[in-house]
Amino acid sequence: MKRVTGIGGIFFKVNDPQAMADWYSKHLGLDLEDQSPTTTFRWREKDDPQVGGATVWALFPQETEYFGSPGNTFMINYRVDDLDALVATLRQEGVTIHGEIQATEHGRFIWITDPEGNRIELWQAPDDY
């Protein structure tokens, strides 16, 4: 079983998401989506160029609880092929798992924590992604 197949997103906290998004747009050329502090990098699979994917870059306000502990300033979203199998394996290995798998229109998600308390998001994209 493959575990992580790529990076689905990079998220971090900032004091002023819109001001920081404007800075990244101006100085690094990030193309922001709908005036939000988010951009999506689209790409193709190396071994199968017919299959596309995306990596999301997003800024969050400092007060977000999405990253778990208040001290966590970033979170990486990793793409996986089989979230159910990976979660079962991680449970057997004693990895800290938060909650149950959440299914949304954007795919299936669950959160784990590494040994230093960094929250990690695992994501299985929908079949038609």
Domain boundaries, the chain: 4-124
pLDDT at 100: 96
* Pairwise pLDDT comparison (83 vs 116), residue with the higher score: 83
Q: Please, are residues 16 and 63 in contact by the beta-carbon 8 Å criterion? A: no
Mean per-residue pLDDT of the chain: 91
The stretch 109-128 carries a mean pLDDT of 93
pTM of the model: 0.87
Strands 4-14, 52-61: pairing kind = parallel
CATH node for 4-124: 3.10.180.10
Model confidence over 30-74: pLDDT tens digits? Answer: 888 776 788 888 888 888 888 888 899 999 999 999 999 889 999
Considering the chain, what percentage of its residues have pLDDT values greater than 70?
A: 99
3-state secondary structure of 97: strand
* Residue 47 structure tokens: 């071994």
Mean pLDDT, residues 105-110:
95
